[in-house]
């Protein structure tokens, strides 16, 4: 009886060690991805506060009749290349968002580094109630290389 108990104990110990290793691996992985995106978001917010906030406001709500909101618009959540090009080249066309027409000109921000553009757009796409995939530096590079 003692022997059976001993074997049982050994087996459960091995089992729990294995399980422990598995969960540890998983936890590590999750923490790592969260840290990376938190850093990107923090960097993106810095760029936003410096270059976008004055027009689009801290809450992304914009200014009525002047600067459009960045909340769940098709520009923010839609085609990545179109969004990147707005940041790079600015925008000067009549657009309608939530029934409001905007005609002011958005200046180009092509002077920002690819990393800064990627970070700020990733921040915008994941703030103000938005939820969308990150913008990669390689995608900014590609959009910059394309004709305007």
Residue 15 or 78 having the CB closest to ligand HEC: 78
Is residue 92 at the binding interface for ligand HEC, with CB under 6 A as the rule?
yes
**Crossing angle of helices 114-125 and 137-145, rounded to 10°:** 120
End-to-end CA, the chain: 81
Is residue 102 at the binding interface for ligand HEC, with CB under 6 A as the rule?
yes
Identify residues 38-57 at the interface with ligand HEC (CB under 6 A): 51-52, 54-56
List the alpha helices (DSSP H) in the chain: 2-51, 53-56, 74-77, 80-89, 114-125, 137-145
d(CA 1, CA 35): 51
**Crossing angle of helices 80-89 and 137-145, rounded to 10°:** 70
Is residue 88 at the binding interface for ligand HEC, with CB under 6 A as the rule?
no
Sketch the per residue contact string, 117 through 146, with ligand HEC: x for CB under 6 A, - otherwise. ---x---x----------------------
Residues forming the site for ligand HEC (CB under 6 A): 51-52, 54-56, 67-70, 73, 75-76, 83, 86-87, 91-93, 95, 97, 102-104, 106-107, 109, 120, 124
């Amino acid at each position: 009886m003692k022997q059976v108990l001993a074997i049982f104990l050994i087996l459960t110990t091995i089992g729990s060690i294995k399980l422990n290793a598995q969960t540890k691996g998983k936890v590590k992985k999750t923490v790592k991805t969260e840290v990376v995106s938190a850093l990107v978001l923090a960097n993106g917010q810095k760029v936003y506060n410096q270059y976008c906030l004055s027009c689009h406001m801290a809450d992304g709500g914009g200014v009525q009749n002047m600067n459009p909101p960045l909340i769940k618009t098709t520009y923010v959540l839609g085609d990545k290349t179109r969004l990147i090009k707005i940041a790079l080249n600015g925008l000067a066309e009549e657009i309608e968002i939530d029934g409001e027409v905007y005609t002011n000109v958005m200046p180009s921000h092509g002077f920002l580094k690819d990393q800064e553009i990627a970070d700020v757009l990733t921040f915008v796409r994941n703030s103000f109630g938005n939820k969308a995939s990150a913008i990669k530096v390689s995608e900014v590079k590609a959009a910059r290389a394309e004709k305007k």
